[in-house]
Amino acid sequence: MSVLDILTFPDPFLKQRAKPVDNVDDSLQQIIEDMAETMYQAPGVGLAANQAGIDACIIVFDPNTDEQSRDFQVLINPVIIETQGRVVSENEGCLSVPDLRSDVPRFERVVVEGLDRRGNPQKIDATGFLSTILQHEIDHLNGILFIDRISALKRQIYKRKRLKEIK
């Protein structure tokens, strides 16, 4: 397994919509393993392929923050098919948006369909922290960063600060 580089804002690749996966094969399995290793190393609770510069609709996630019990899940070509309620995800952060945490409006419950790492259909009915993770990572696959969902003022302040840091 390899730890991949995580792209950070303002990398333009993060704003692109990821391509659907057509073929679940051995090379995809290696990508999934590398993504999981990267997520745990970061450390994070989710990672979308495009955050690692991979143009593919794949997410890995593990809502369990206990380092002793790593058991990540995979969704290939995930799609939110049902939503319910509204909540504010408090203190949300992102591996691709360093040094910012913010409250983000999210759906309280989502139902997500996709494929598991072997290409079998999956359906996840999620609430709470898992719902937030799934929405966040699927947003990435659609070229949406969590800063796109916060207030314009907070977003503008962060963008200015970040652009000064990387110059």
Q: Is 137 a catalytic residue?
A: yes
Bridge partner list, 82? 111
Contact residues for 94 (Cβ-Cβ < 8 A; gap 6+): 100, 136, 145, 146, 147
- What gap in Å lies between CA 26 and CA 28, rounded to an integer? 5
CA 93 → CA 20, 68, 79, 103, 150, distances in Å? 25, 22, 22, 9, 12
Catalytic residue among 33, 67, 108, 137: 137
- Residues assigned a catalytic role: 137
